[in-house]
Structures are given as C-alpha cells and as structure tokens.
Amino acid sequence: MDMNRKGEQLLFTESLKSDEILQCLDIVDKQMIVSVTDSNGIIQIVSDAFCEISGYTREELIGQAQNIVRHPDTSPDTFEELWKTIQDGKQWQGELKNRKKDGHSYWVITTIFPRFTSDNTIVGYVSIRQDITSSKELLEQEEIFKEQSKNASMGEMIGLIAHQWMQPLSVISITTANAEIEMTLDGIKEKNIKKTFERINKSVNYLAKTVNDFRNFFKVDNNKISVSIEELLKYSIDIINPIIQEKRINLIFDSSIIENKGNSNIITASRNDLVQVILNIIKNSSDALLSNRIKNPYIEIKLNKKENMFVLEFSDNAGGIPEEYISYIFNNNFSTKGEQGTGLGLYMSKMITEKRLKGSLEVHNNKDGACFHVILPMAS
C-alpha cells in the first residue's frame, strides 16, 4: 500500500469516534459474508452474515476447515485452481456453490485474498462473499423453460412430420395396391409401370425432403451466420404450410418490399432461432383461428424494412387478444388456451428475439385480429 493511501486511512480512522467504529464493524458483521482462516484454511473468524446464510453457529464453524460449506457439485479442479492462486499470494475471485448445514445450496461470488506478515509470509486468508442465489435460481429457471419449450416444439414438429407423411404414404400404398391388382387381373402394362414408379418416386422424394427439413430444425446450432431473412421465412413456411392447409387456413406471404440486391435482406443469427419464433407465432395464430371457429381464416405474413431494421409482421383474423390479457401475453406460463396451453411458446419467442437475435417482439390488435411484429437488426 502506498504511503499516501495509508495516511488517508489513518486520518479516516482517527476521525471516527469509538462508537462509530463499533457501529461500522457491526454493519459489516451483519451484512457481509466474511470468514478469516489460517494458512491451512481453518476458520478463525466468521461474521454473523456467514452464520445466517450457512445455517451454522459461530461455535460450529470456528476451528473447522473452510470446506465445511463446500458443495459436492463443485468441480475439484475449481478448488485446485483456487488454492494454487491464493497460495501464490494472489487474489482469487469466482462463483461458488456452497452447501448449508441443512443440505440446501446457495450461490456466492467469492473474493479470497491472502494475509501477509511484514516479511510477506502468508499467515492466512480472508474470504468475502456476496449472495447471488436469487439471480442463479432465475437463470436455472430460464434454462428449464428453454428445455420445456424445446420439448414442446419437438412435440409439435413430430406432429407436423406425421401429418406431412400421411399423404405421400397413402399415395404409395394406393399406387402399389393398384399395381398389384393390375398384375393379378390383366397383367400390368409397360406404360402403367412407368407411371406407377414415377408416382412412388415423387412421394419418396417428398418424404426424404421432409426428413431433411426436420433433421436440420432439430440440429443443435448455436453458431450465428449471415443468412437471408427471406430464405428463413420461406423455409419456415415450407415446414408448417401443409398442416396449415389441412386446417383450411389461408397462409399469405408478401415479401414484395424486399429487394434482392447484395446484402439487402441479410441478418446475423443461428438459423433455428428465427425459425422457432416464426413457427411459434404461426402456430399461436392457427390455434386461435380454430378455437374461435373463424370463417375464411387467414394468416398474413409481411416482410418490411424500417431504417436499419427488418419488420416481420404476422396478422390474422381470429378476433384479437382480449385487452385484459394483451399485456401478459409474453409472460411465462400465461396462456389463453386453458389447460391445453403451456404459455411457453410466446414467452420463449420473446426471449429468443431479444436475447439471441438482439431484436424485439411486439403485439397489438388490429380490426380483424392480433398482429405480431418481430423487429430484427440488419447485418452490419
């Protein structure tokens, strides 16, 4: 410590009255999670805050090794690196998962620094911690929501695969049955053989394309690339359009405003992030249209530009979101579908749009129904 700084501390300490010093120490004791150990990590001093968060009394802690609160989930490599750092006379800082006396866990940001004698010999260590359990639990909860959303999306995608496979499989079945009948009764003609195989080949190619599309969708892909937003839109529509058509919903896609010149329609994203958002919004609209039994139902998708942003607009004629619900529509576990809804689709769509795509997701009602805006930055 330089002499000027040391002098400032002495002046500050001398200016405090003894009762003020005691008051400061009392605040530190109650509010800061502090422990002091000897050079072997044996606890010598603990604050009240340390006792409160760990569930141990002061008597139970003093004389015990600091690892009395060590959680078994923490990697041995972490503690090896920690000890190497502080034994080298350096400060260590990081997040640690600790265990309370009752077995429950808590998270802390920990700073540990050595205590030295006048000849620079390490005589012990001081550990100061900050409780971050609440923020860690929120992050863990978000990961759970992500996994639930992924599983829900998987279920929906598997349903889409089943629907998309039904027609070509039926075509193959009927075609082969007809060919078998012809062979049995009259003997199949050469021109009919060619026609039969053409129909079967067309259906098989469609099945192969479907498998490839869904394999790409389920592929873990966290790599951000430069990709055409129009390409991702068309890809998403190709995936979901068959089931939308089966529900007799008219899916309208208008991208006339996009000029396909150079990098005019490029974003930076992982492919599946935006695809999942698009599918969630279209699925939400289709559910509303069917639930409300709308005549001549439609979902219209428009792709616009506004300054340096793309605006994906999804609108339907399902009657809109009730005003008392619209401010909660992106909350997790909130659903207007009763027991049939998880409330995860739109919540995760908003999280993906904001956190991974660095954009925003908004909703309002127009004269016919709900209108969602996915606003994304253009690639720089």
Q: Give the domain range for residue 179.
A: 134-219
pLDDT value at residue 145: 57
Q: How confident is the model at residue 231 (pLDDT cuts 50, 70, 90)?
A: confident
Per-residue pLDDT for 250 more than 60? yes
Tell me, yes or no, whether 167 lies in a domain: yes
The CATH number of whichever domain residue 84 belongs to comes to 3.30.450.20
Clarify whether residues 259 and 345 are in a common domain: yes
Tell me, yes or no, whether 12 lies in a domain: no
Clarify whether residues 273 and 380 are in a common domain: yes
Clarify whether residues 44 and 117 are in a common domain: yes
- Overall number of domains in the chain: 3
3-class SS of residue 15: helix
The CATH number of whichever domain residue 195 belongs to comes to 1.10.287
Domain termination residue (choose one: 198, 219, 240)? 219
Domain termination residue (choose one: 131, 166, 181)? 131
Clarify whether residues 274 and 329 are in a common domain: yes
Domain termination residue (choose one: 131, 156, 188)? 131
Clarify whether residues 235 and 329 are in a common domain: yes
CB 361 within 8 Å of CB 299? no
Clarify whether residues 211 and 141 are in a common domain: yes
Tell me, yes or no, whether 212 lies in a domain: yes
Across residues 79-101, what is the average pLDDT? Answer: 91
Q: pLDDT of 108-166, one tens digit each? A: 989 998 989 888 899 999 888 888 887 777 666 666 555 555 555 555 555 555 555 55
Q: Compute the distance between CA of residue 46 and CA of residue 59 in angstroms, rounded to an integer.
A: 10
Q: Where are the alpha helices (DSSP H) in the chain?
A: 3-15, 18-31, 48-54, 58-61, 76-87, 133-185, 190-218, 229-246, 271-291, 323-326, 345-351
Tell me, yes or no, whether 375 lies in a domain: yes
Tell me, yes or no, whether 259 lies in a domain: yes
Clarify whether residues 239 and 114 are in a common domain: no
pLDDT value at residue 305: 84
pTM of the model: 0.48
